[in-house]
């Protein structure tokens, strides 16, 4: 048949007619036009239509390839089919490709419509004419929709997987950081609970919070060495005075922190506050202790 050629539109703004043609030039319409062409060459008497996830490739079917807007393989020498024989060859190829799409589809993709199209086309040997052509076209369109939806779902799943992995990595990093901080706090606590650590803490707090120098710290050292030996676990069996400052009862130190039973720094903080409020300075408290055997 004579091939009509149409002059390409100019690169200027599209005319109303060309815009209308582009709007009507959908894949489904191109398929239907191709399927109406009874002179399409079919290799070995069967159309080969391969629809893969994310795209469609057509081999040995130039008219279908042109209709779908994808490249076709070079036609081979094969007997030409026309009429019902062509329709049925195309139906067979369409079914094969549609089933491949169904097999490969992401499990989250809705394939209901395509399965219905496949079922409707499955009896192609009993159909002919416009009914068969229409079923082929709708099956091709449904296959393309499922392939595209499946590819999009694959991308979405990959994004979700990456996000979950990033979240898990962040949680793991946060847990590692928290564990490291807890270990450092435990180390500092253990170090602060030693006699040397407690004395270092007391000296620093006495100077920074109360302005007491080394002479006052010497009095404090004498006082708390006598009272508890700077042992945060010390408990006086005669009355129950507790901790480095020998608070009576020990629960008084809770005003400085709930960890008063296990933290020398909390006990020292309370003890310095007590000395400041009751005696003014550690040397005054030590003088009272020497005179009265308590402070």
Average pLDDT over residues 70-98: 73
How far is the C-alpha of 200 from the C-alpha of 194, rounded, in Å? 10
How far is the C-alpha of 182 from the C-alpha of 200, rounded, in Å? 22
Using one digit for the tens of pLDDT, what is the confidence trace for 225-265? 999 999 999 999 888 999 999 999 999 999 999 999 999 99
The pLDDT of residue 200 is 97
The pLDDT of residue 47 is 36
Distance of CA 70 to the CA centre of its chain: 36
Least confident of 30-44, 75-89, 94-108, 192-206: 30-44
Q: Are 81 and 178 in contact (CB under 8 A)?
A: no
- The encoded tokens of residue 245 equal 């400052």
- The encoded tokens of residue 14 equal 């599209």
Q: Are 202 and 268 in contact (CB under 8 A)?
A: yes
Domain layout of the chain by residue ranges = 18-159, 195-292
What is the DSSP annotation of the chain?
A: -PPP--PPPPSSSPPHHHHHHHHH--HHHHHHHHHH-TT---GGGS-EEEEETTEEEEES-HHHHHHHTS-BPPPPS-----HHHHHHHHHHHHHHHHHHHHHHS-TTS--HHHHHHHHHHTTGGG--HHHHHHHHHHHHHHHHHHHHHHHHHHHHHHHHHHHHHHHHHHHHHHHHHHHHHHHHHHHHHHHHTSHHHHHHHHHHHHHHHH---HHHHHHHHHHHHHHTTT-TT-B-TTT--BTTTTBSSGGGGGGT-TTTTT-HHHHHHHHHHHHHHHTSSHHHHHHHHHHHS--
Residue 16 has pLDDT above 50, yes or no: no
Give the residue among 236, 230, 235, 274 at the shortest CA–CA distance from 252: 274
Dmax over CA atoms of the chain, in Å, equals 128
Go through the chain and tell me how many residues it has. Answer: 295
How far is the C-alpha of 201 from the C-alpha of 230, rounded, in Å? 11
Give the residue among 202, 274, 273 at the shortest CA–CA distance from 232: 202
Using one digit for the tens of pLDDT, what is the confidence trace for 132-153? 999 999 999 999 999 999 999 9
Answer with the residue of higher pLDDT: 6 or 103: 103
Per-residue pLDDT band at 84 (split at 50, 70, 90): confident
How far is the C-alpha of 79 from the C-alpha of 210, rounded, in Å? 107
Residue 113 has pLDDT above 50, yes or no: yes
User: To 10 degrees, the CA torsion angle through 106, 108, 113, 117?
Assistant: 30
The pLDDT of residue 24 is 52
- The encoded tokens of residue 58 equal 């057509």
Count the neighbouring beta carbons within 10 Å of the beta carbon of residue 280. 11
Using one digit for the tens of pLDDT, what is the confidence trace for 171-185? 999 999 999 999 999
Q: Are 87 and 35 in contact (CB under 8 A)?
A: yes
How far is the C-alpha of 248 from the C-alpha of 124, rounded, in Å? 98
pTM of the model: 0.54
């Amino acid at each position: 048949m004579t091939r009509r050629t149409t002059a390409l539109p100019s690169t200027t703004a599209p005319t109303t007619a060309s815009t209308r043609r582009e709007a009507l030039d959908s894949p489904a319409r191109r398929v239907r036009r191709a399927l109406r062409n009874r002179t399409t060459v079919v290799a070995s008497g069967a159309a080969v239509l391969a629809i893969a996830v994310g795209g469609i490739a057509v081999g040995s079917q130039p008219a279908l390839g042109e209709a779908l807007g994808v490249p076709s393989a070079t036609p081979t020498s094969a007997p030409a089919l026309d009429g019902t024989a062509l329709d049925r060859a195309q139906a067979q190829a369409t079914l094969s490709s549609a089933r491949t799409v169904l097999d490969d589809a992401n499990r989250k993709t809705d394939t209901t419509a395509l399965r219905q199209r496949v079922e409707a086309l499955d009896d192609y040997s009993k159909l002919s004419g416009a009914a068969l052509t229409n079923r082929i076209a709708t099956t091709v369109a449904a296959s393309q929709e499922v392939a595209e939806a499946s590819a999009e779902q694959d991308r979405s799943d990959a994004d979700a997987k990456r996000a979950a992995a990033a979240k898990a990595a962040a949680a793991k990093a946060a847990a590692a950081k928290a564990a490291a901080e807890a270990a450092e706090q435990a180390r500092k606590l253990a170090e602060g609970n030693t006699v040397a650590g407690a004395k270092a803490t007391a000296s620093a707090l006495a100077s920074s919070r109360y302005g007491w120098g080394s002479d006052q710290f010497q009095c404090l050292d004498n006082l708390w060495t006598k009272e508890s030996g700077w042992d945060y676990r010390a408990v006086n069996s005669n009355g129950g005075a507790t901790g480095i400052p020998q608070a009576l009862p020990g629960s008084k130190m809770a005003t400085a922190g709930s960890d008063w039973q296990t933290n020398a720094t909390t006990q020292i903080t309370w003890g310095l506050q007590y000395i400041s409020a009751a005696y003014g300075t550690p040397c005054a408290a030590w003088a009272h202790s020497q005179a009265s055997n308590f402070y």
